[in-house]
A and B are shown apart, each in its own frame.
Chain A
């Protein structure tokens, strides 16, 4: 029986700040960057008003933010930070350190395009550029999901089988700054769900002194990396376990991805975050006309749930994978590439084509989504993907 929740109207950032408030981490070390800034603004107000016990450290850059968060987490604190785009890029070396040191840091990343050119609007190039850091990545469609993912992320990160940091990603401006409806879980229930952080070997324990982040030579580096990779593998089960427990608490169901009207879908769009919401509206429109279309909305990008995705999509005849970031591989977007790879050994494969869309906050409306479904119809009639990869909306 789900707990009674409070129905509110909040922006994504405010919802995430509230999730953090309910979790009440020991330390937050953060630096502002659009469109993350108001998470930290709201949180600073909570600290100033004495509503949380968090030690807030205002650092001079995102590199320092992650460094301070790593230090706090190593010391034994439940530590968080938040960032976007260039901020994530600036802390790039520290991201690897957080994961390599096996620290359960949770960090909201408000997806914003990377420079150059400078752009403050939404695309996924920031977090797509951090896929190999060892961080778990979970993407949310709207304010509710961003809020829910924050709470689950703490349990996923701190699970002794995992002990890896988690990025909770959601769209800049679209989700972060638009007022949305969501349900807030009561604070006591959130605290009970996340529990108290029990660090295994905190630096601050002088009875059991340790060194964190030492040098490793060629004879041991591989073993350490493999240990980390296996933890990422174990995260699969933990993500689903936490989601099941969260469903009992909130009544909302989560998994590796969401399947929307996929049962007998022949043409499927695979797309993450807010654009999935737009796609749902188009799926409903087309389904009303009898068209067999569906949406698969990836939620977990790291670890990549290849097996489950193949299973979910094997009934489809034509799939369009929409990526909101360029990889410069010349072979398409990240999700497209990884999904194709997942299908390599499959007997039946749907036709698959890739789109790169929404870069730098380019608006993606129901019109563009309808065009994708129409392209898929075209592919089906021709028996092959008409185009390998392309840009959804570009002026030539």
Chain B
């Protein structure tokens, strides 16, 4: 429904120094957020991430340097006009308690003096977009909604005038972990449709990895420690600070960025009940890397593993000797979840199945490990060997 894509947001030597402070809050930031991407600003408290974000819509003015949106310096645009063209979502949401949900969503269009009918249509469209039935929600007040519903209204309100750029300050910080996960997924699906350029602030590195196309890691004093894709940062932290900040489990974190479909799957030795043991023995012997045959039903759905012991002697295979409980994963499963399923099973092979449960291949712990050791492509397009020191951003 919307093809309006985001705008390029560029920081050029941006510094913020508060009067009376000896050190700058934000120190000489230079980086560019490509149009339509989510850039997450992450770092410990006092790293200047919120200050950095608020300089984009001039709630805070930089001391020096400049920020441009599609090449135009934000300080060349009157602050009020600039802000009406930038979506803004904050942690406490800040819905207006005295306005209905419909009126809240229509706030910026009203400030822009859209005709009533157009505002009404837009409000309806946006409530649909964030999954709130307009007929049910439009005339309610914020106090009548749950936290998650209010959060969605906040996002709808920020999208109202179809701004190319959105600023989000810990937007999911106030909801419980389960609901946060759902809202994050919802928002990522939404972003696939609207393709805004989003500056997203969080202190949670896991959220940064999940939400960010790129991550800017800031350290105390507002210094940019690294700016790259999540995978590249996890594979090659630019400094000891980044390495500590992303955590000792950064290998595991990388696994949650990749999916089973990114791996080369192993070819399974597929057998059906009634096949001759000798023939299966021969096929299993020829297969590289696989020590088990996979017993499937008539629809190629997995039933269990057949090992060498089950194949001794002659005669047809007895389905009852198969070891059941082969873990199944889907191409969309993250490597982290796949690994977890594999480690919990006796045969450390996972069966990859399609949406109708039919076997399409196998995944092994080794294959997942190999993936972690493969070079990672950085934001600049170059491949980095794992552990190779990346150039500081």
Q: Do A and B come from one complex?
A: no
Interface positions of B (Cβ within 8 A of A) = none
Interface positions of A (Cβ within 8 A of B) = none
